[in-house]
Each structure stands twice: as C-alpha cells, then as structure tokens.
Amino acid sequence: MTDSKFEDDNISPEIAINYYLNDDVSVFAAYKEGFKSGGIDNSALPTATLSPADGDFGFLVYQSEEAEGFEVGMKGNFLGNSLRLNATIFTYEYTDLQVQLFDSTAIQFQTFNASALETEGLEFDLLWNTSVEGLTIRSAWAWTDTGYSEDFVNATGENLKGEDGAGSADITGYVGFTYDAELTEQLALQRVC
C-alpha cells in the first residue's frame, strides 16, 4: 500500500465559568472543543474487487472529526433541597463529520467524512423527593435542532444541506418514579417505573 497512512494530533481546550447566586443555585457558561480521531477504513480490506491499479489505498483514509461550541445553564436545589433541577442551553458544530454507510453490494460498511453538522437545543433534568414518604420522581427532557450546515451528497445523489441530521429526534424525554416502603424491619418494598 502507498499513501495509506494516517497521522494526526489534537488539543481540545475547554473553559467553564461557574457562579453561585446563593448556596442552592449556580449558573455557568462554557466553551468546549472535542475531537474524534480519523483513521483508515479497515472494513474495506484489500480484495480482488478492491485493488486499485496503482496500489494506492489512500481513499480509505478518513479525517478526524472536530467539534466546538458553547453552553450556558444552571444547577439548583429548591423546595428545601427536595427538588434538584439542572438546565442547559447549547450550540455545537461538528466538522469533517464521520459517517458510516452500509454498501449492500459489497456487504460492508464504509467510513468517510461528510459535511458539517450544527446542533443546538435545551435540556433539563430533575429529581424530586416528594412529600409522600418514599416517593421520588425523576424526569429528563431535551429539545434538539440538528442539521447539515454544508453540502453533503448521499448515496442516492441527494444534497442533504439544511436537512435534519440522521437519527436526531426533536424532542426526547422520560418521567419515572421510585417508591420505597418498609414492610417489616427486615423487609422493604421498592417499586421503580
């Protein structure tokens, strides 16, 4: 093989500022960068059907994916410390997005770089120890808007620029509870939903 090496290095800084409004509530702001290493797509190992005339397998190399963005939020304890609430607003951009597609003809996955992806949203979670003995309620929700911010032509020739990112839900969340009750000194009942 010629020209099928991959080398890279990365420093991903992060800075965060946290300010306590009082003993129970803090607010924060952060700038973050992230990195996912590139490499050589070894799902397409050299075979009789994959042997370029010049022996150059450089097309199997995919670049490192990088991300950068901001978030602001708050963390607090309320209702006499019986309710914990965390909330964050964020915006991030991913460049040289690493994508994996399944090639049904060759029966293999292909990894390559495609486009850039922007994501922004709001998420929060809470844990509430209610006034009912042994009953705890928990919940987490997120609203996310994700889309391709640069040209990305998929396998069918469609340009996905401006379209939602694959597999991204606009709203996700759950609500659950735990109920603990003592039946005897040695036996307790716990119900989790």
* Residue among 121, 68, 117 at smallest CA distance from 96: 117
Specify the pLDDT at position 28: 98
Residue 157 DSSP SS3: coil
How far is it, in rounded angstroms, from Cα 4 to Cα 173?
43
* Contacts of residue 113, Cβ cutoff 8 Å, sequence gap at least 6: 38, 62, 63, 65, 96, 97, 98, 99
* Gap between the Cα atoms of 75 and 128, Å rounded: 14
C-alpha dihedral, 45 to 48 to 53 to 58, nearest 10°:
-10
pLDDT at 1: 44
Model pTM greater than 0.85? Answer: no
Helices (H), 33-91: none
How far apart (Å, rounded) are the C-alpha atoms in residues 40 and 3? 11
d(CA 72, CA 92): 12
Give the chain's residues under pLDDT 50: 1-2
Are 70 and 40 contacting, i.e. CB atoms less than 8 angstroms apart?
A: no
> How far is CA 40 from each of CA 51, 103, 110, 115, 186, rounded to the nearest angstrom?
15, 17, 10, 18, 58
According to the model, what pLDDT value does residue 189 have?
64
User: Tokens 């800075």 identify what position?
Assistant: 15
Strands, DSSP E only, in 13-154? 14-20, 25-36, 39-40, 61-62, 65-78, 83-95, 98-103, 108-113, 116-129, 135-148
Rounded distance, CA 188 to CA 47, Å?
62
